[in-house]
C-alpha cells in the first residue's frame, strides 16, 4: 500500500498511513511527507515501532537535530532525544509537566526549531493528551484593528522566566550559573511569515514570550494574554489522544502545543522527542 494523507476534522492536521518509519525511506516518500507537513502543520503516524536509532534517522530526513538547554533530560545514548517521562526512563531524570503550558519549542533561542517529532512509547489510558493550536488560522481570524496593532511588532522571548516559575514551585532544581548566563532575551516578530508557505501566523506563546517590545508592561501583558487566549479557542485546537506507537510531528513555526494533565501516580507517560533545527525555506530551496 502506498503512502496516504488524510485530513482529519481540523484544517491543519493530517494522518499519514501506509508507511513504516522503522524502514529506510526513499527520497520520494520523504518528499511526500515533507509536502504533507508544509500543507498541514501537524502529521500523525499511528502504530509505529521505532528504535532510538530509527527515530533519529527518520527525524534526520528533515534537517539537523538539536538537543535542549537542560541536558539532564537528554538520553545519554542518543542526546538528540529529549525524554519526557514521569518515571525517568533511560537514565534520565523524571520530568513531570514537561510541556504542560501553551508553547512553541525553544523560541527562546535566536533561531527556534522548525519542528519536533514526538513518539509516544508509554501513554496513560486517560488524560495526557497533547493539544495543538493552529497559529495560521488564529492570525487570520484576528480583527483588522488587532492585525494593524501587531504588524511589524517584535516580541521578547526568554526561558529564564518559565524555568524559574517551575523552580520556585519545587518542580525543577535551581538553575546553574551557566544556565542563567545562557538564557538571554531574544527577539522574534509577533507575526511570522512562514518560510515555506508565505502565509502569516502568530508567533507568540505563553511559555516563553515575555513581552512585546516598545509597549508598557501593562499593555504588553494584556496584549500577549489576549493573543494567546484567542489562539487556543476550540476552533483552532486539535487534541491528540495518544496511543502507544503514535508519532506526531509538528511545524514549530505555525503551531503551539500543550500537554494536558493525567494521574502521574497511577500511570506512566514516556515520550521521546527529537527537535529539528530552524532551517527555513526548504520548499523554496527545492523549487
Residues that bind ligand SIN (CB under 6 A): 84, 98-99, 105, 116, 118, 130, 257, 259, 271, 273
Rounded Cα gap, residues 276 and 282, in angstroms: 13
Count the Cβ atoms, other than its own, within 10 Å of residue 82.
24
The answer to whether 274 and 106 have CB atoms below 8 angstroms apart is no
Rounded Cα gap, residues 145 and 165, in angstroms: 33
Rounded Cα gap, residues 161 and 45, in angstroms: 34
Q: Of 105, 129, 134, 246, which residue is the catalytic one?
A: 105
User: Is 103 annotated as catalytic?
Assistant: yes
Cβ 115 to ligand SIN shortest distance, Å: 11
Cβ 260 to ligand SIN shortest distance, Å: 8
* Distances 166 to 57, 96, 162 between C-alpha atoms, Å: 33, 10, 7
Distance of CA 147 to the CA centre of its chain: 24
User: Is 55 annotated as catalytic?
Assistant: no
User: Is 61 annotated as catalytic?
Assistant: no
Q: Which is nearer to ligand SIN, 131 or 186 (CB)?
A: 131
Burial class of residue 100 in the structure, from the number of CB atoms within 10 Å of its CB (0-12 exposed, 13-18 middle, 19+ buried) = middle
Q: Which is nearer to ligand SIN, 99 or 278 (CB)?
A: 99
User: Is 269 annotated as catalytic?
Assistant: no
Residue 41's contacts (CB-CB under 8 Å, 6 or more residues apart) are: 12, 13, 132, 134, 136, 250, 251, 254, 255
Cβ 128 to ligand SIN shortest distance, Å: 7
Q: Which is nearer to ligand SIN, 41 or 220 (CB)?
A: 41
Cβ 134 to ligand SIN shortest distance, Å: 17
* Residue whose Cβ sits closest to ligand SIN: 99
Cβ 94 to ligand SIN shortest distance, Å: 13
Q: Which is nearer to ligand SIN, 137 or 271 (CB)?
A: 271
Q: Which is nearer to ligand SIN, 133 or 259 (CB)?
A: 259
Q: Of 172, 188, 194, 257, which residue is the catalytic one?
A: 257
> Catalytic residue positions?
103, 105, 257, 273
Amino acid at each position: 500500500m502506498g503512502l496516504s494523507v488524510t485530513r482529519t476534522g481540523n484544517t491543519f492536521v493530517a494522518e499519514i498511513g501506509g508507511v513504516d518509519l522503522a524502514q529506510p525511506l526513499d527520497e520520494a516518500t520523504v518528499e511526500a511527507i515533507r509536502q504533507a507537513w508544509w500543507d498541514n502543520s501537524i502529521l500523525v503516524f499511528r502504530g509505529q515501532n521505532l528504535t532510538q536509532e530509527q527515530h533519529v534517522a527518520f527525524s534526520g530526513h528533515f534537517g539537523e537535530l538539536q538537543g535542549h538547554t537542560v541536558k539532564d533530560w537528554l538520553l545519554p545514548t542518543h542526546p538528540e532525544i529529549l525524554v519526557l517521562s514521569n518515571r525517568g526512563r533511560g537514565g534520565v531524570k523524571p520530568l513531570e509537566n514537561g510541556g504542560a503550558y501553551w508553547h512553541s519549542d525553544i523560541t527562546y533561542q535566536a533561531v527556534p526549531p522548525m519542528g519536533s517529532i514526538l513518539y509516544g512509547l508509554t501513554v496513560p489510558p486517560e488524560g495526557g493528551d497533547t493539544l495543538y493550536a493552529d497559529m495560521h488560522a488564529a492570525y487570520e481570524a484576528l480583527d483588522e484593528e488587532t492585525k494593524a496593532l501587531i504588524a511589524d511588532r517584535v516580541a521578547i522571548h526568554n526561558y529564564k522566566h518559565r524555568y524559574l516559575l517551575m523552580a520556585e514551585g519545587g518542580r525543577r532544581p535551581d538553575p546553574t550559573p551557566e544556565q542563567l548566563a545562557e538564557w538571554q532575551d531574544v527577539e522574534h516578530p509577533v507575526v511570522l511569515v512562514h518560510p515555506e508557505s508565505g502565509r502569516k501566523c502568530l508567533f507568540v506563546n505563553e511559555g516563553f514570550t515575555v513581552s512585546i517590545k516598545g509597549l508598557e508592561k501593562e499593555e504588553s501583558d494584556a496584549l500577549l494574554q489576549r493573543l494567546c487566549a484567542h489562539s487556543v479557542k476550540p476552533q483552532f485546537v486539535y487534541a491528540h489522544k495518544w496511543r502507544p506507537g503514535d508519532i506526531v510531528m509538528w511545524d514549530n513555526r505555525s503551531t503551539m502545543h500543550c500537554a494536558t494533565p493525567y494521574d502521574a501516580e497511577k500511570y506512566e507517560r514516556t515520550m521521546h522527542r527529537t527537535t529539528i533545527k530552524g532551517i527555513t525555506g526548504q520548499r523554496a530551496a527545492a523549487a
